[in-house]
Amino acid sequence: MLPASSRLLRGCLIALLCLPLPAWPLSTDRNEPINIEADTATLNEASGTSTYRGNVHLRQGTMQLRGENMTVQMRDDRIDKVVLTGNPATYVQRPDNAEEDQHAEAGRIEYYAGENRMILLDNARIWQSGKDQFSSDRIVFNLAENTVSAGGGSSSDRVRITLQPRKSDDTAATPEPAPAAEPATPPGTDPPAGTIP
């Protein structure tokens, strides 16, 4: 049995990892056409599988996937599963109501469209510029619920989290310095010509 301090630490970590991410993808991207570029492509209509190799680039709206190899499995004329590998494979997408893109990278990215879930494996990392960052050998996104979980349970699969300090709203603006007063005329001297005493 784990000591009480270890159980508390594990409980805090689990609670932290279940916090929602910043609005994870732009909802209108699903309605955009999918464009795929690669050095080579193999399509098997009977099995519904397509394989892309070399400089793979998939775009749909603001979403971009890049890697070396990608396999796409179709079911009922819809994407069912995408597996992208690279060194690293990368994912970028603009969240709803955000000015900056969300980023992810891993040796392997698996996307399950029916479950609206993404799994990042092998040196996985997610971040948004200037915001919190998660890294682990395994990260699972639940895109529908906007949550993330990380770690695989083994002692070698450490979860690393960087939490950025939040800016305080109560910082008052620094007042402008008052203009310097004009020097007084020394006693017994006449004011300069053209001035009113």
Q: pLDDT at position 85, please?
A: 98
Global pTM? 0.66
C-alpha pair distances (Å), 57 with each of 38, 68, 118, 124, 185: 6, 9, 17, 19, 76
Q: What is the pLDDT along the chain (197 residues), one digit of tens a residue?
A: 444 333 333 333 333 333 333 334 556 777 888 899 999 999 998 999 999 999 999 998 888 999 999 999 998 888 899 999 999 999 998 877 777 888 999 999 999 988 889 999 999 998 887 677 889 999 998 877 778 888 865 656 678 777 777 666 655 455 555 555 555 555 565 655 555 55
Q: pLDDT at position 18, please?
A: 36
Beta-bridged to residue 66, according to DSSP, are 57, 90
The residue whose two tokens read 């993330």 is: 148
Phi and psi at 154, nearest 5°, equal -80, 155
Tokens representing 5?
A: 């301090």
Q: pLDDT at position 81, please?
A: 93
Q: What residues contact 108, with CB distance under 8 A and at least 6 apart? A: 83, 84, 85, 89, 120, 121, 122
Q: pLDDT at position 6, please?
A: 36
Q: pLDDT at position 39, please?
A: 98
Q: Which residues of 99-117 are buried (b: 16+ CB within 10 A; e: fewer)?
A: eebbebbbbbbbbbbeeee
Q: pLDDT at position 142, please?
A: 83
